[in-house]
Amino acid sequence: MSREAQRIEYPYTLKIETLAGQSVTVPLAFLTREEIANFLQTDFQRLAQQAGVKGARVLVEQAATADYSNVLQEVEAYLRRAALKAG
């Protein structure tokens, strides 16, 4: 059995809440829990900073799966909308 076939997938949703009380829930899937940690520590922080959103709260829960690149696009779009509404 290949290494890829042995990987376990953990489906999650990512709920983002801004200080202004706005929120969005994005379905996502990662192959490992380490990828979730990496997303939160690097990609999410970068996207929030680019959008000018400060103090966003993130809640990760198990849920249905999605494509990682779609997740980045959806999170980026939400954070940009949140920044526009807050500004």
Judge contact between 52 and 6, C-beta under 8 A.
no
| pLDDT surpassing 80 at residue 7 | no
For 60-84, letters b (16+ CB in 10 Å) and e give: beebeebeeeebbebbbebbeebbe
pTM exceeds 0.85 for this model: no
Inside any domain, residue 18: no
pLDDT-derived band of residue 1, with 50, 70 and 90 as boundaries?
A: very low
- 81 in a domain, yes or no? no
Residue 86 confidence (pLDDT): 74
**Residue 64 pLDDT exceeds 60:** no
> Residue 53: which domain range?
1-10+39-65
The answer to whether residue 82 is domain-embedded is no
- From the centroid of its chain, how far is CA 9? 16
Q: Residue 57 pLDDT > 70, yes or no?
A: yes
With respect to residue 45, please indicate whether it lies within any of the assigned structural domains. yes
Report pLDDT for 53.
Answer: 85
Number of domains in the chain: 1
